[in-house]
Amino acid sequence: MDKLVLQIVNVFSKSLSKEMIVFIISLMPILELRGGLIAAALLKIPYLKAAAICIVGNILPIPFILMFLNKIFDMMEKWELTKKLVLFFKKRAIKNKSKIDKYGLLGLILFVGVPLPGTGAWTGALVASVFNMDIKKSSIGIFLGILLAFVIMSIISYGVIGNIIR
């Protein structure tokens, strides 16, 4: 992930502000807030400013995923060209659903919040959408998971305690 974040920072550093780069990275699936905080630390963006940018960037696409993904998937499944892509994402959701089901809301929070490959807000929203989980409950779980990821990644990316004391 670090290499990908560094490549994105290098590509956009001449054309976008540091804050916009971090925001875009935080919006992206796979990278999300985790990649955004790494980029913010590399770009030396002050911690509290980075926190706001990354959290907002990671949260922003989630309501749209929860509300519209099934409708988009239904349309995409009608065309042979995009049907395989939908099936790929649905298989990914099925693979991860048991992790969330086992612990309910806490499972969703941990799935989104613990920075492991294949987890995060986008994948949590994918699972919630595909299995028609309650949008309000899913939104709360994903938001709390994002906050958990923020705490974990802050320690990794910024060494929070040392930066707060300064």
Q: What string of pLDDT tens digits covers the 166 residues of the chain?
A: 788 998 999 999 999 999 999 999 999 999 999 999 999 999 999 999 999 999 999 999 999 999 999 999 999 999 999 999 999 989 988 887 887 888 888 999 999 999 888 899 999 999 999 888 999 999 999 999 999 999 999 988 887 544 554 4
User: Do 68 and 42 reside in the same domain of the chain?
Assistant: no
Does 54 share its domain with 76? Answer: no
147 lies in which domain range? 62-151
Number of separate domains in the chain: 2
Does residue 160 lie in a domain region? Answer: no
43 & 116 share domain = no
Residue 36 lies in a domain: yes
Q: In this structure, what DSSP letter does residue 131 have?
A: T
Where among 11, 38, 59 does a domain terminate?
Answer: 59
Q: Are 93 and 18 in a shared domain?
A: no
> What's the distance, Cα to Cα, between the start and end of the chain in Å?
28
The rounded distance, in Å, linking the Cα atoms of 21 and 138 is: 28
User: Which pTM was predicted?
Assistant: 0.85
